Amino acid sequence: MKVVVIQGPNLNMLGVREQHIYGAMKLEHIHAQMKDFASQSGLEIEFFQSNLEGEIVDKIQECYGDANGIIINAAAYTHTSIAIRDAISAVNLPTIEVHISNIYRREDFRKQNMIAPVCSSSIVGFGPFGYHLAMVGMVQVLNEIKAVQEMQKQQAV
């Protein structure tokens, strides 16, 4: 099973930008930890980061028919992008939203979340550990889907 991790704008600057909010861990280290967990869990994992909304939409659409689930940190686009919301909804894949900081304890404009209603779940405020939690959650969701599919196959026989 394949999971695609999509990172939004400025996440390529982790470890440099606002360490008091986002911590000192760089994106490459987060991805390395996720890759280790994926290999232990028998998952294929792919990483993608872009500062451009349209590229993120394109990547979400590419997941249709190619991936079993998406983990996304849409970053600032969380609060503004109907296009990303619509793309997540269109591909209809289990999608877990991650935010390093607790967006609900920050500026008022960050409390507007355009994508949460079309995601399977959201993990906010756990720092980089939130990505690990998303991986654990994704394994659980994919296992549940697999179990339901196997049960349906048995009932059809």
Please report, for residues 6, 96, 115, 134, 152, the alpha-carbon distance to residue 73 in angstroms, rounded to integers and kept in the order given.
6, 9, 10, 11, 33
Q: How far apart are CA 102 and CA 56, in angstroms?
A: 22
- 64 tagged catalytic: no
Active-site residue (options: 99, 104, 131, 132) = 99
- Show the tokens assigned to 88: 């997540």
Tell me the backbone φ, ψ of residue 49, rounded to 5 degrees.
Answer: -135, 135
Pairing of strands 121-124, 2-7: unpaired
- 31 tagged catalytic: no
Q: How far apart are CA 157 and CA 154, in angstroms?
A: 5
Active-site residue (options: 22, 29, 104, 131) = 22
Could you give the residue numbers annotated as active site?
22, 99
